[in-house]
């Protein structure tokens, strides 16, 4: 079979994974990215003795498919598991940090739900299933219907704030948590589904929470080492044009005005959906569908990184971190205990806290100045964790368009990507806005 020339747009995790898959099928692959480093959202920086992750902090390894992929490209040996303590997670209720239950006994004694809220949660297997006409049910409606209002307010709300910087009402269950959607369809209950429904050959017997010695960016950097052709960096894609032979002309430009121009048999875009409108598309059948691909909501998000001497913080930091329900009316969405999670995140006898601010809950906070964002993060963390004095390290990073949400436009986006491909041979639209944002989705291109 003749080897095809493939161009992958974007050197984030999706782009590198697609490139490796195509290369594995004997294709000649070129990746192009406008950044000067691979990784896209995955950016890890070492500064003043602290190692900070500007994007994703953890990779949740649950499936055999993801494990096989990481093993195949010799990445898994370099991964580090999160500290065992990190199975302990906290939420804030009535202005106090409380530990979430880790088993049935602790569930009974925990104050994370009221006695009535716990009874309602335990009734889940007896709740009737969704009606056929509610295919696009939101995560919020699903949790309230099956687990009750209190579980929505004190479990789903902070959890979705932490994962997607979003609200449960904005996410469509089927796209955001397909496993829960399937469980209800198949077993009529999520609890029964969890007990009965484990597909043993697909899921790992024990899930792992991973990062790398040099932070999450080490993942795309290590994967990229397996590419025969190193990614072409520092070139922004400006134009994609089809020709009469069914090939694709790709044109990019560097900041210095240097050009990248070449002809390919296939183009795979893994660019964030909202950037597709910045490119000139010529000769694309049904190019109006590209507008549909730009429709994902990306909430704005700011991250703060605060470093303290360990003895300034009275909380033991013995867990993953805490999340804050909206009802608590605070400004921070949650905080990761980064230096508990993984080693090398802070100098000896120091701690690193990573906090998330803004999101769909408080988007206006992302417009504050750096000093204001740091001040509010110090104030909220000090209040909740019992911190005395000021940090010796403080940094802010902003994502004006952070995670693409699996919202009501996701179904349309997926259909548009498929239609564009069927109408334009060799043109593919992939990436987090189509596959879903969690890293395993980006790592497992079909
Ligand atoms: C703050 C934050 C925290 C997160 N935390 C987690 C987490 O803990 N766990 C988890 O599983 N997931 C997390 N995610 C989600 C996950 O990190 C992303 O969904 C995933 O990394 C996206 O990868 P991607 O390759 O699809 O896109 P990207 O990483 O966005 O890559 C797209 C690439 O396209 C390039 N590009 C854009 N336009 C052009 C152009 N015109 N020309 C050339 N190149 C271009 C960009 O430079 C970029 O490198 C987080 C996301 C964010 C923002």
Whether 432 is in the pocket of ligand 1, judged by its Cβ within 6 Å, is yes
Distance 122 CA to ligand 1 centre (A): 38
* pLDDT for position 131: 64
Q: For residue 258, what is the DSSP state?
A: -
- Residue in this structure with the two tokens 């580090």, named with its chain if needed: 80
CB-based contact 319:86 (threshold 8 Å): yes
Q: Report CA(325)–ligand 1 centroid distance (Å).
A: 26
The mean predicted confidence, pLDDT, of the chain is 94
3-state DSSP of 391-442: CCEEEEEEECCCCCCCCCCHHHHHHHHHHHHHHCCCEEECCHHHHCCCHHHH
Of the pLDDT bands very low, low, confident and very high (cuts 50, 70, 90), residue 426 is very high
Tens digits of residue pLDDT in 132-149 = 557 789 999 999 999 999
Helix ranges, 148-248 (H): 149-151, 157-164, 173-176, 178-187, 190-196, 218-224
- Greatest alpha-carbon span in the chain: 70
How much is the pLDDT for 127?
87
Across the range 228-233, mean pLDDT stands at 97
Q: What is the mean pLDDT of residues 161-178?
A: 94
* DSSP annotation of 287: T
Residue of 166, 223, 254, 271 to mutate, ligand 1, most atoms within 8 A of C-beta: 271
Residue with tokens 């001497």: 309
CA distance 280 to 278: 7
**8 A C-beta contact, residue 163 and residue 128:** no
Count CA atoms within 13 Å of residue 159 on its CB side: 16
Closest residue by Cα to atom 17, ligand 1, is 56
Residue with tokens 């699903």: 142
d(CA 265, CA 5): 5
Residue 198: pLDDT band with limits 50, 70, 90: low
Mean pLDDT of 188-200: 77
Mean pLDDT of 404-416: 96
Over the Cα atoms of the chain, what is R_g?
23
Residue 420 has a pLDDT of: 97
Per-residue pLDDT, averaged over 245-272, amounts to: 97
- Asked if pLDDT for residue 197 goes beyond 80, the answer is no
Averaged pLDDT for residues 202-215? 87
Report the alpha-carbon distance of residue 238 to residue 367 in Å, rounded. 29
Query: What distance lies between CA 284 and its chain's CA centroid?
Result: 30
Convert the pLDDT of each residue in 267-300 to its tens digit: 999 999 999 999 999 999 999 999 999 999 999 9
d(CA 69, CA 75): 9
pLDDT of 446 reads: 57
Mutate to test the pocket of ligand 1, among 18, 19, 40, 62 (most ligand atoms within 8 A of CB): 40
Ligand 1 within 6 A of CB of 210 = no
The residues near 283 (Cβ < 8 Å, ≥ 6 apart) are: 241, 242, 243
Q: What is the pLDDT of residue 69?
A: 95
Tens-place pLDDT, residues 56-115 = 999 999 999 999 999 999 999 999 999 988 889 999 999 999 999 888 778 888 888 999
CATH of region 5-39+227-296+405-443: 3.50.50.60
Q: In which element (H, E) is residue 60 found?
A: strand 59-63
Separation of 12 CA from ligand 1 center, angstroms?
Answer: 6
Q: Picking from 200-204, 211-215, 245-249, 438-442, which range would have the lowest pLDDT averaged per residue?
A: 200-204
399 lines ligand 1 (CB under 6 A): yes
- Ranges 135-139, 262-266, 351-355, 365-369: which has the least confidence: 135-139
Place of tokens 């043109």: 427
H/E element holding 17? helix 13-24
Q: Is 265 in the pocket of ligand 1 (CB under 6 A)?
A: no
Cβ(376)–Cβ(324) below 8 Å: no
Q: Looking at 25-138, list the stretches that DSSP marks H as alpha helix, in order from N- to C-terminal side.
A: 64-72, 104-109, 115-122
Whether 301 lines ligand 1, by a CB cut-off of 6 Å, is yes
Indicate if ligand 1 lies below 6 Å from the C-beta of 224: no
Dist. CA 396–CA 373, nearest whole Å:
8
From the CA of 206, how far away is ligand 1's center (Å)? 27
Mean pLDDT of 256-275: 97
Q: What are the tens digits of pLDDT across the range 16-26?
A: 999 999 999 99
102-204 folds as protoporphyrinogen ix oxidase, domain 3 (1.10.3110)
| Cα gap 297→166, rounded to integer Å | 10
Looking at residue 273, the DSSP 8-state letter turns out to be G
Res 383 pLDDT > 90: yes
Where do the structural domains in the chain lie, given as residue ranges? Answer: 5-39+227-296+405-443, 102-204
The atom of ligand 1 lying closest to the CA of 404 is 19
Confidence of residue 202 (pLDDT cuts 50, 70, 90): low
DSSP 165: S
Tell me, using a 6 A CB cutoff, whether residue 40 lines ligand 1.
Answer: yes
pLDDT above 90 covers a percentage of the chain that reads 84
Q: Which residue has the tokens 């043993």?
A: 200
d(CA 371, CA 428): 42
Q: What is the pLDDT of residue 217?
A: 98
pLDDT at 125 over 70: yes
> What whole-number distance in Å separates Cα of residue 173 and Cα of residue 138?
5
Span 369-393, average pLDDT: 98
Structure tokens that stand for 1 in this block: 């079979």
Q: Is 168 in the pocket of ligand 1 (CB under 6 A)?
A: no
Mean pLDDT of all residues in 173-182: 92
């Amino acid at each position: 079979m003749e080897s095809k020339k493939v161009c992958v747009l974007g050197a984030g995790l999706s782009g590198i994974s697609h490139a490796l898959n195509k290369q594995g099928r004997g294709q000649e692959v070129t990746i192009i990215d406008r950044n000067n480093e691979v990784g896209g959202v995955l950016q890890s920086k070492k500064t003043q003795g602290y190692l900070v992750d500007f994007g994703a902090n953890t990779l949740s390894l649950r499936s055999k498919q993801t494990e096989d992929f990481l093993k195949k490209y010799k990445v898994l040996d370099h991964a580090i598991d999160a500290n065992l303590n990190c199975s302990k997670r906290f939420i804030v209720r009535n202005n106090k940090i409380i530990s979430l239950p880790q088993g049935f006994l602790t569930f009974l004694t925990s104050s994370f739900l009221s006695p009535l809220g716990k009874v309602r949660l335990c009734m889940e297997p007896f709740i009737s299933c969704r009606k056929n006409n509610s295919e696009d049910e939101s995560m919020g409606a699903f949790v309230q219907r099956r687990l009750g209002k209190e579980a929505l307010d004190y479990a789903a709300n902070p959890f979705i704030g932490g994962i997607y910087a979003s609200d449960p009402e904005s996410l469509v269950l089927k796209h955001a948590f397909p496993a829960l959607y399937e469980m209800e369809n198949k077993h009529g209950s999520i609890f029964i589904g969890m007990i009965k429904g484990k597909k043993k050959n697909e899921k790992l017997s024990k899930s792992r929470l991973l990062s790398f010695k040099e932070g999450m960016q080490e993942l795309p950097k290590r994967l990229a080492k397996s590419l025969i052709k190193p990614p072409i960096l520092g070139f922004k894609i400006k134009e994609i044009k089809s020709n009469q032979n069914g090939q694709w002309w790709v044109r990019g430009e560097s900041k210095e005005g240097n050009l990248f121009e070449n002809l390919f048999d296939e183009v795979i875009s893994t660019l964030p959906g909202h950037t597709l409108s910045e490119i000139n598309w010529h000769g694309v059948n049904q190019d109006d569908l590209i507008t549909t691909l730009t429709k994902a909501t990306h909430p704005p998000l700011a991250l703060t990184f605060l470093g303290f001497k360990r003895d300034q913080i009275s909380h033991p930091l013995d867990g993953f971190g805490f999340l804050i329900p909206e009802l608590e009316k605070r400004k921070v969405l949650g905080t990761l205990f980064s230096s508990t999670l993984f080693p090398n995140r802070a100098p000896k006898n120091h701690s690193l806290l990573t906090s998330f601010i803004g999101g769909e809950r408080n988007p206006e906070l992302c417009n504050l100045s750096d000093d204001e964002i740091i001040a509010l993060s110090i104030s909220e963390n000090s209040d909740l964790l019992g911190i005395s004095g000021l940090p010796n390290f403080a940094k802010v990073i902003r994502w004006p368009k952070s995670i693409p949400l699996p919202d009501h436009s996701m179904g349309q986006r997926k259909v548009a990507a498929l239609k564009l491909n069927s109408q334009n041979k060799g043109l593919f639209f992939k990436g987090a806005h189509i596959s879903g944002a969690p890293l395993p989705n980006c790592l497992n291109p079909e």
